[in-house]
Amino acid sequence: MRIRLDIAYDGTHFRGWARQPGLRTVQGTLETALARILAGNPSLVVAGRTDAGVHSTGQVAHLDLDEAQRARLEQGRRTPADPVSALAGRVRGVLGAYPDVTVTRTSLAPEGFDARFSAVWRRYTYRIADEVSGYDPLQRERTTSVRARLDVDAMDAAARSLIGLHDFAAYCKPREEATTIRTLLEFDWHRAADGAVVANVRADAFCHSMVRALVGACVAVGEGRLDPSDVVALRDEGVRTSAFKVLAARGLVLSEVGYPTDELLAARAEQTRARRTRE
């Protein structure tokens, strides 16, 4: 039995998603809670591993249950008619009042579903307070402050110029044998009702630190330190640069993960497992 979990968390006090010995992580916290309910060693597969300090309102993971865990899920006089959907509430009960991570929904995964490899895109937002918006202490854990009056129109123009299938090596922290070719589907900026400057970034996948680097380049444009056309020139050079600063994790939120229709899930997973190449 494969179960889909929809997850939200405040990443401030986590050392990222991935389980690490001796460190508090989102995966480790959730798997500990699931073990109390299901026993054994539950192991989550996630749509996108977030770094330390990154938040999420739309993370997705899956969990495979063995026969013993399935029996444990379904047993008991108080088990509801749909024990799979009830699992979310049971996890929340274990996590306690006001936790910084929660499971918002659990459901039986469709045939062929893989939280990581079936995904067709991920969406992130990034929130910045500048001299126009001012500093809001109630938003301090999810907002990066910039001491400048940002030109949002210039940032938006720079962001949109990066959209498409490209090698984003200049905006990624290199990892051995990992491709940096990605399809950037959406990238734009706007000023929210409260004055904050917010980025919307959607791609088929992201390499390590890519969103925070893209955001940092656009902030350099908004501050007047880079021209909007420079972000494409830097991308095409294909090497890391000190022309802009990679911004802090605190302003970054994984907000949504997109999947194809059920009949295409397995094919998408197989396609994604293949190494990306420029076509």
**Active-site residue set:** 51
Count other Cβ atoms within 10 Å, centred on residue 193: 5
- Crossing angle of helices 83-95 and 26-38, in 10° steps, is 120
The token duo for 67 is 């026969």
Tokens matching residue 210: 């890519």
Q: Which of 167, 255, 163, 168 is nearest to 209 (CA)?
A: 168
Q: Which amino acid is at 147?
A: R
Burial (CB < 10 A; 0-12, 13-18, 19+), residue 21, is exposed
The span from the CA of 261 to the CA of 174, in Å, is: 33
246 by Cβ neighbours in 10 Å (0-12 / 13-18 / 19+) ranks as middle
Backbone angles phi, psi at 154, to 5 degrees: -65, -40
